[in-house]
Copies of this chain bind each other. A is one copy, B any other.
Amino acid sequence: MTVGARIAILNPNTTAAFTERLAALGRRLAAPDTIILARSPLHGVASVECHVDEAVATLGLLGVVAEEEAFGTNAYVLACFGDTGIEAVREIAAGPVVGMTEAALSAASIVADHFCIVTLPPRTVIHAERVVRRLGLAYRCRVRAIDVAVDDCVALDRSLLDAMIAESRRGLEQDGAAAVILGCAGLSELVAPMREALGVPVIEGVGIALKLAEGLVANGVATSKRGAYAAPPRGWPPA
């Protein structure tokens, strides 16, 4: 295995509590010789809940990734449901950039025939469906939502867990889902109690994305620089 792969977990929002959780999760899961960083933009939005938030967050991410490239970072995990700005990040990254949403979908597709996403708040269904469609999995995955703001996820209190479990149950019963994807970063503490309550795999995308990023580095697979993800013609930051 590659020695000393440096992988940056990118939190596109500025909420430090989330970034810290992501760092802790990453360090717990990473291989012994992987160097894990969790980074977020200095300025931006406290959470990503709409396309305007995505626009702000994407520019912030580009700044962070430009710095990381200078350090020779080997791979990135994009830790925001909907994989905000991932195409732009791919253009300036040499190594692979793995979105938590696409990683979660790949994992779910491996362990279940039909599955569902439970995201929040309801207006972000469009962002999740963007990735589901991009991977052609709409026929196996329904996107469901609970009416909770991302800010309310900081506390991880009981009502959040209850709402996630109730909506997941609807997915199991109405959609034939056999696995559930957590539709928000930073909720890895919910995995165990939800799996316990539901009896099916509960998938948290950041952890999967991290191991997939390690795997791509180990296999020498980097972002293709032919076509859509080639370096920007004017570079970044623009000259």
Contacts and interface: CB of A to CB of B under 8 A. Distances in A.
Q: Oligomeric state, in number of copies? A: 6
A53 interface: yes
Nearest to A60: B55
Contacts of A4: none
Interface string A135-158: 111111000000001000000000
A228 B55 contact: no
Interface stretch (A16-24, A107-115, A159-167): A107-115
Interface in A20-69: 28-32, 45-46, 49-56, 58-59, 62
A179 B222 CA distance: 10
Contacts of A234: 45-46, 53
Given A32-B32, A201-B222, A223-B111, A233 B178 contact: no
Contacts of A114: 227-228
Interface residues of A, number: 88
Contacts of A96: 110-111
Given A54-B88, A139-B136, A208-B219, A112 B232 contact: no
A69 to B, nearest CB: 13
Contacts of A226: 112, 172, 178, 199-200
A31 B214 CA distance: 10
A112 B224 contact: yes
Contacts of A88: 50-52, 54-55
A158 to B, nearest CB: 22
A6 B131 CA distance: 32
Given A49-B233, A112-B226, 15 more contacts: A1-B32, A29-B215, A55-B58, A102-B109, A106-B212, A107-B216, A111-B223, A114-B228, A178-B228, A179-B224, A199-B225, A203-B221, A208-B221, A211-B211, A211-B214
30 contacts: A1-B31, A29-B215, A29-B219, A50-B230, A51-B88, A53-B234, A54-B88, A55-B55, A55-B59, A96-B110, A99-B110, A102-B110, A106-B212, A110-B212, A112-B226, A112-B229, A113-B227, A113-B229, A123-B230, A125-B228, A135-B136, A135-B137, A136-B139, A178-B227, A178-B229, A179-B224, A199-B225, A199-B226, A208-B219, A211-B214
